[in-house]
Amino acid sequence: MLSLSALRDTPALLKLDLYCRGMQVDPSCYVEEDGGRGIMRTRAGLGSGLEVILPGGLWTNVPVTESFARASSYVLHRLDGGYVIRRDGDDVAQVQLSPRPAWYDAKTASGKPMTRVGTLQGTYLGVYPARVCDFWLRKPEKTNCKFCSVGLNLGVDDAVEKSVDEVLEVVRAARETSGITYVDFNTGHYDGETYLDILEPYVRRIKKEHRLLVGVQSPPHQDLEKYDRLRAMGVNRVSFCFEIYDRARFQEVCPGKHAYYGLDRYLDAIRYCALLGTRGPSSEPWVTNGEIIAGLEPPESTIRAIDWLTSVGAIPTVCVFRPLRGTDFEHMPPPDAEALVPVFRRLYESCMEHGLPIGCAPNVHVSLVMLPEECAGLSDRRYPWQRVKLAAMKRAFAAQFAWRTAHAR
């Protein structure tokens, strides 16, 4: 078990341990009455928890509804109008509730609650614009990824389809009242590989009307030139969720992805996209992410995935496995945080060793994963020159972003 002093001194350790152990919410807490965000089951299964801000400004989404969380030794208490996390009765950290934006209570002109169109995950807007992933629709064979809750959540807190106008209305509200800088689109698999075509009208309108940063997370399209087109359109991030680097485990956990795409197609798309940085509009930054889940394969295998990704110029996005209610893996134990510390240490070190642009986007705090830069506290290595370079990039990018959004409509 991680020591109290380590958890108090290193917020990254606390963020990681809370992902793994979850937290109980004491009856003294009035999350929504105190301006916090309610718990929502949107299509991003990992967003099933309570959004809070840890010391050091680390935004997170702490599991609270799963059975392991209900037995956690961490408990959130309300104390003198503030919030504190205790472990077995000892104070660990004062935390803030992630603020619930005013637009969460608004509806679109078409009458949909705005939260069924998009939700904040940390400080960015996440949108799942199209129908449920086709891997959930195949019967009688089961082809959905076994950790995934997408097919369970649709229609619960998330609308089935969202028009471009509805999404743009929510983007405007989120920009004006929450100051978002980044919109992330996420799709599952659609037979016919229509996912990038579906996203294009949304991306074009956001770029034209708001000039915000936009990212696309979808399966790897067979026509790689589609990514040149996204790059030219001003998309800033593409992300490919291959989840697991061990081939046998990938096949077992992600049967649909294995049968339709295969791991190599994910890796080929990542390698291709990571080279597009120099081939698009210089005013639009570009990053390629490969997303993996720590806790579903041995840590050494996750570390191999991290090192492969950084070696080709991609930034790893590393989630922590959460055994979500109702999923095929509901009854699996969550991972052990101590076993994952080397994974997240390596995440930071590998990105720094390869000079990757981590932590440069303005006001992007992510609650669903540990960002590489958040893991600096897990490493003894300092990388002084790389830190100076990143700080300069961050300043320059913030100034350029402020200028261009000020000149948006």
Residues at the contact surface with ligand SF4, assessed by CB under 6 A:
133, 135-136, 144-145, 148, 150, 188-189, 257
Residue 112 or 138 with smaller CB distance to ligand SF4:
138
Residue 133 or 343 with smaller CB distance to ligand SF4:
133
Q: How far apart are CA 323 and CA 45, in angstroms?
A: 10
Q: Are 335 and 20 in contact (CB under 8 A)?
A: yes
CB of 327 to ligand SF4, least distance (A): 10
Residue ranges of E strands in 69-178: 74-79, 82-87, 90-97, 118-121, 124-127
CB of 51 to ligand SF4, least distance (A): 21
Q: What is the radius of gyration, based on Cα positions, of the chain?
A: 20
Helix (H) or strand (E) holding 51: strand 50-54
Report how far apart, in Å, the C-alpha atoms of 40 and of each of 64, 67, 155 are.
11, 17, 12
- What 198-206 contacts at long range (C-beta under 8 Å, 24+ apart), as own/partner pairs, is 198/129, 198/130, 199/129, 200/233, 201/164, 202/127, 202/129, 202/164, 202/167, 202/168, 203/230, 203/233, 203/234, 203/235, 204/233, 205/164, 205/168, 206/167, 206/168, 206/171
Residue 1 or 259 with smaller CB distance to ligand SF4:
259
Residue 48 or 144 with smaller CB distance to ligand SF4:
144
Residue 188 or 285 with smaller CB distance to ligand SF4:
188
Query: Across-strand partners of 126?
Result: 119, 184
CB of 329 to ligand SF4, least distance (A): 12
| 220 SS3 class | coil
Residue ranges of E strands in 228-286: 237-243
What single letter denotes the amino acid at residue 11? P
Q: How far apart are CA 318 and CA 310, in angstroms?
A: 13
- Residue that has been written with the tokens 């705005």 in this structure: 114
CB of 75 to ligand SF4, least distance (A): 31
Handedness of CA 262, 268, 269, 271 (dihedral sign): positive
Q: How far apart are CA 91 and CA 8, in angstroms?
A: 9
Residue 180 or 318 with smaller CB distance to ligand SF4:
318
CB of 305 to ligand SF4, least distance (A): 16
Residue 97 or 133 with smaller CB distance to ligand SF4:
133
CB of 273 to ligand SF4, least distance (A): 18
Residue 169 or 291 with smaller CB distance to ligand SF4:
291
CB of 326 to ligand SF4, least distance (A): 13
CB of 343 to ligand SF4, least distance (A): 20
